[in-house]
Amino acid sequence: MMIKSVELVVTAFDKEQYPSDNLLQIAVVGRSNVGKSSFINAILNRRNYARVSSKPGKTRGINFYKINNMFYLVDLPGYGYAAVSKEMKKQWGLNIETYFKISDKLKYVLMLVDIRHLPTEDDIIMVNYLKNMEIPFTIIATKSDKLSKTAVQKSIREIAMEFKISPDIIVPFSSSKKQGVDEVLKIIKKNIKN
Protein backbone atom coordinates (compact mmCIF):
# COMPACT_ATOMS: atom_id res chain seq x y z
CA MET A 1 0.00 0.00 0.00
CA MET A 2 1.24 3.47 -0.91
CA ILE A 3 0.81 6.24 1.65
CA LYS A 4 -0.24 9.16 -0.52
CA SER A 5 -1.66 11.52 2.05
CA VAL A 6 -1.67 11.95 5.78
CA GLU A 7 -3.80 14.47 7.63
CA LEU A 8 -4.02 14.90 11.38
CA VAL A 9 -7.74 15.59 11.46
CA VAL A 10 -8.11 16.03 15.21
CA THR A 11 -6.43 15.46 18.53
CA ALA A 12 -9.40 14.50 20.64
CA PHE A 13 -9.62 14.98 24.38
CA ASP A 14 -13.32 14.23 24.45
CA LYS A 15 -15.56 11.84 22.55
CA GLU A 16 -17.51 14.73 21.02
CA GLN A 17 -14.35 15.50 19.04
CA TYR A 18 -14.01 12.09 17.38
CA PRO A 19 -14.47 12.22 13.59
CA SER A 20 -18.08 11.58 12.69
CA ASP A 21 -17.55 10.24 9.16
CA ASN A 22 -17.77 6.58 8.26
CA LEU A 23 -14.14 5.78 7.50
CA LEU A 24 -12.80 2.66 9.19
CA GLN A 25 -10.28 3.01 11.97
CA ILE A 26 -7.13 1.13 12.89
CA ALA A 27 -5.88 1.88 16.39
CA VAL A 28 -2.33 1.89 17.71
CA VAL A 29 -2.00 1.14 21.43
CA GLY A 30 0.81 0.40 23.85
CA ARG A 31 2.66 1.54 26.92
CA SER A 32 4.09 4.96 27.17
CA ASN A 33 7.55 5.14 25.53
CA VAL A 34 7.12 1.84 23.66
CA GLY A 35 7.67 3.62 20.34
CA LYS A 36 4.15 4.37 19.08
CA SER A 37 4.95 7.75 17.55
CA SER A 38 8.13 6.38 15.94
CA PHE A 39 6.13 3.42 14.63
CA ILE A 40 3.52 5.71 13.08
CA ASN A 41 6.19 7.87 11.45
CA ALA A 42 7.93 4.76 10.08
CA ILE A 43 4.84 3.23 8.51
CA LEU A 44 3.65 6.59 7.16
CA ASN A 45 7.16 7.28 5.92
CA ARG A 46 7.13 10.71 7.57
CA ARG A 47 10.06 12.04 9.50
CA ASN A 48 8.49 13.59 12.55
CA TYR A 49 4.79 13.71 11.85
CA ALA A 50 3.79 12.03 15.08
CA ARG A 51 5.90 13.66 17.75
CA VAL A 52 8.67 11.48 19.09
CA SER A 53 9.95 12.46 22.49
CA SER A 54 12.63 11.46 24.90
CA LYS A 55 10.24 12.30 27.72
CA PRO A 56 7.65 9.55 28.06
CA GLY A 57 3.97 10.28 28.33
CA LYS A 58 3.89 13.03 25.72
CA THR A 59 1.00 11.85 23.60
CA ARG A 60 -2.07 12.78 25.64
CA GLY A 61 -5.07 13.16 23.42
CA ILE A 62 -6.23 10.69 20.77
CA ASN A 63 -4.73 11.58 17.39
CA PHE A 64 -6.84 10.70 14.36
CA TYR A 65 -4.66 10.53 11.23
CA LYS A 66 -6.63 10.30 7.99
CA ILE A 67 -4.67 8.23 5.49
CA ASN A 68 -5.22 8.41 1.71
CA ASN A 69 -8.72 9.77 2.50
CA MET A 70 -9.52 6.10 3.07
CA PHE A 71 -9.16 5.21 6.72
CA TYR A 72 -7.97 6.53 10.07
CA LEU A 73 -4.90 5.49 11.97
CA VAL A 74 -5.74 6.27 15.57
CA ASP A 75 -2.88 7.01 17.96
CA LEU A 76 -4.07 6.37 21.52
CA PRO A 77 -2.23 7.81 24.52
CA GLY A 78 0.33 5.44 26.01
CA TYR A 79 -0.70 3.77 29.26
CA GLY A 80 1.32 2.76 32.30
CA TYR A 81 3.59 5.76 32.62
CA ALA A 82 4.73 5.56 36.24
CA ALA A 83 5.57 9.20 36.93
CA VAL A 84 2.06 10.62 36.73
CA SER A 85 -0.51 10.89 39.47
CA LYS A 86 -3.10 8.19 40.09
CA GLU A 87 -5.76 10.65 39.01
CA MET A 88 -4.09 11.17 35.63
CA LYS A 89 -3.57 7.45 35.09
CA LYS A 90 -7.24 6.92 35.76
CA GLN A 91 -8.12 9.63 33.26
CA TRP A 92 -5.90 8.06 30.59
CA GLY A 93 -7.46 4.66 31.22
CA LEU A 94 -10.91 6.18 30.89
CA ASN A 95 -9.99 7.94 27.63
CA ILE A 96 -8.77 4.70 26.08
CA GLU A 97 -11.75 2.78 27.40
CA THR A 98 -14.22 5.34 26.08
CA TYR A 99 -12.62 5.11 22.66
CA PHE A 100 -12.91 1.32 22.54
CA LYS A 101 -16.46 1.38 23.85
CA ILE A 102 -17.97 3.86 21.44
CA SER A 103 -15.88 3.40 18.32
CA ASP A 104 -17.98 1.22 16.08
CA LYS A 105 -15.67 2.07 13.15
CA LEU A 106 -12.73 0.38 14.84
CA LYS A 107 -11.68 -2.55 12.67
CA TYR A 108 -8.28 -3.59 13.90
CA VAL A 109 -5.69 -2.91 16.59
CA LEU A 110 -1.93 -2.74 16.32
CA MET A 111 -0.69 -3.31 19.84
CA LEU A 112 2.92 -2.37 20.55
CA VAL A 113 5.24 -3.98 23.10
CA ASP A 114 8.97 -3.48 23.59
CA ILE A 115 10.70 -6.61 22.30
CA ARG A 116 13.23 -6.46 25.14
CA HIS A 117 10.67 -6.79 27.92
CA LEU A 118 7.99 -9.21 28.93
CA PRO A 119 4.47 -7.77 28.74
CA THR A 120 3.38 -5.77 31.78
CA GLU A 121 0.15 -6.31 33.67
CA ASP A 122 -1.38 -3.41 31.71
CA ASP A 123 -0.35 -5.06 28.42
CA ILE A 124 -2.00 -8.31 29.44
CA ILE A 125 -5.18 -6.49 30.48
CA MET A 126 -5.20 -4.78 27.06
CA VAL A 127 -4.77 -8.03 25.11
CA ASN A 128 -7.40 -9.81 27.19
CA TYR A 129 -9.75 -6.93 26.51
CA LEU A 130 -9.19 -7.24 22.75
CA LYS A 131 -9.75 -10.99 22.91
CA ASN A 132 -12.96 -10.57 24.92
CA MET A 133 -14.29 -7.87 22.61
CA GLU A 134 -13.28 -9.99 19.60
CA ILE A 135 -11.34 -7.09 18.10
CA PRO A 136 -8.72 -8.57 15.74
CA PHE A 137 -5.17 -7.48 16.50
CA THR A 138 -1.48 -7.93 15.75
CA ILE A 139 1.31 -7.48 18.30
CA ILE A 140 4.15 -5.24 17.09
CA ALA A 141 7.37 -6.00 18.98
CA THR A 142 9.24 -2.67 18.77
CA LYS A 143 12.93 -1.77 18.95
CA SER A 144 13.99 -5.10 17.41
CA ASP A 145 17.25 -3.42 16.31
CA LYS A 146 18.34 -3.60 19.94
CA LEU A 147 18.48 -7.42 19.91
CA SER A 148 20.32 -10.04 17.89
CA LYS A 149 18.36 -12.19 15.43
CA THR A 150 18.28 -15.19 17.75
CA ALA A 151 17.29 -13.03 20.71
CA VAL A 152 14.43 -11.59 18.62
CA GLN A 153 13.04 -15.08 17.99
CA LYS A 154 13.38 -16.03 21.64
CA SER A 155 11.59 -12.86 22.79
CA ILE A 156 8.76 -13.44 20.35
CA ARG A 157 8.18 -16.91 21.76
CA GLU A 158 8.21 -15.59 25.32
CA ILE A 159 5.85 -12.71 24.56
CA ALA A 160 3.47 -15.14 22.81
CA MET A 161 3.49 -17.39 25.88
CA GLU A 162 2.73 -14.50 28.24
CA PHE A 163 -0.16 -13.27 26.10
CA LYS A 164 -1.36 -16.83 25.37
CA ILE A 165 -1.38 -16.13 21.64
CA SER A 166 0.30 -17.60 18.58
CA PRO A 167 3.79 -16.22 17.82
CA ASP A 168 2.52 -15.86 14.24
CA ILE A 169 0.62 -12.71 15.15
CA ILE A 170 3.71 -10.97 16.51
CA VAL A 171 5.71 -8.81 14.08
CA PRO A 172 9.24 -7.74 15.03
CA PHE A 173 9.59 -4.06 14.21
CA SER A 174 12.30 -1.41 14.14
CA SER A 175 11.50 2.20 13.38
CA SER A 176 15.16 3.10 13.05
CA LYS A 177 15.96 0.20 10.69
CA LYS A 178 12.51 0.25 9.03
CA GLN A 179 12.14 -3.45 9.75
CA GLY A 180 8.56 -4.75 9.57
CA VAL A 181 7.14 -1.75 7.70
CA ASP A 182 6.01 -3.72 4.63
CA GLU A 183 4.43 -6.43 6.73
CA VAL A 184 2.45 -3.88 8.75
CA LEU A 185 1.30 -2.08 5.59
CA LYS A 186 0.09 -5.42 4.25
CA ILE A 187 -1.89 -6.07 7.43
CA ILE A 188 -3.45 -2.61 7.24
CA LYS A 189 -4.36 -3.05 3.58
CA LYS A 190 -6.05 -6.36 4.27
CA ASN A 191 -8.13 -4.91 7.07
CA ILE A 192 -9.37 -1.66 5.59
CA LYS A 193 -11.40 -3.45 2.96
CA ASN A 194 -15.04 -3.31 3.91
Residue 175 touches which of Mg ion, ligand GTP, none (Cβ within 5-8 Å per kind)? ligand GTP
Contact indicator for 102, 27 with CB cutoff of 8 Å? no
- Which strand (E) or helix (H) includes residue 167? none
Which residue, 59 or 95, is less far from Mg ion as judged by CB?
Answer: 59
Any idea how long the chain is? 194
Residue 180 touches which of Mg ion, ligand GTP, none (Cβ within 5-8 Å per kind)? none
Which residue, 54 or 194, is less far from ligand GTP as judged by CB?
Answer: 54
Taking the complex as a whole, how short is the minimal distance between the CB of residue 112 and ligand GTP, in angstroms?
Answer: 7
Q: Is 74 helix (H, G, I), strand (E, B) or coil?
A: strand
Which residue, 29 or 67, is less far from ligand GTP as judged by CB?
Answer: 29
One-letter amino acid at 145 equals D
Which residue minimizes CB distance to ligand GTP?
Answer: 78
Which residue, 49 or 129, is less far from ligand GTP as judged by CB?
Answer: 49
Interface with Mg ion (CB under 5 A): 36-37, 59
- The dihedrals phi and psi of 156, each to the nearest 5 degrees, come to -60, -40
Taking the complex as a whole, how short is the minimal distance between the CB of residue 74 and ligand GTP, in angstroms?
Answer: 13
Which residue, 126 or 152, is less far from Mg ion as judged by CB?
Answer: 126
Cβ density class 139-177: b for 16+ within 10 Å, e for less: bbbbbbeebeeeebeebbeebbeebebeeeebbbbbbee
Contact indicator for 1, 82 with CB cutoff of 8 Å? no
Residue 95 touches which of ligand GTP, Mg ion, none (Cβ within 5-8 Å per kind)? none
Interface with ligand GTP (CB under 6 A): 32-38, 52-54, 56-59, 78, 142-143, 145-146, 174-176
Q: What angle do CA 53, 57, 58 make, to 5 degrees?
A: 50
Residue 32 touches which of ligand GTP, Mg ion, none (Cβ within 5-8 Å per kind)? ligand GTP
Residue 66 touches which of Mg ion, ligand GTP, none (Cβ within 5-8 Å per kind)? none
Which residue, 78 or 134, is less far from ligand GTP as judged by CB?
Answer: 78
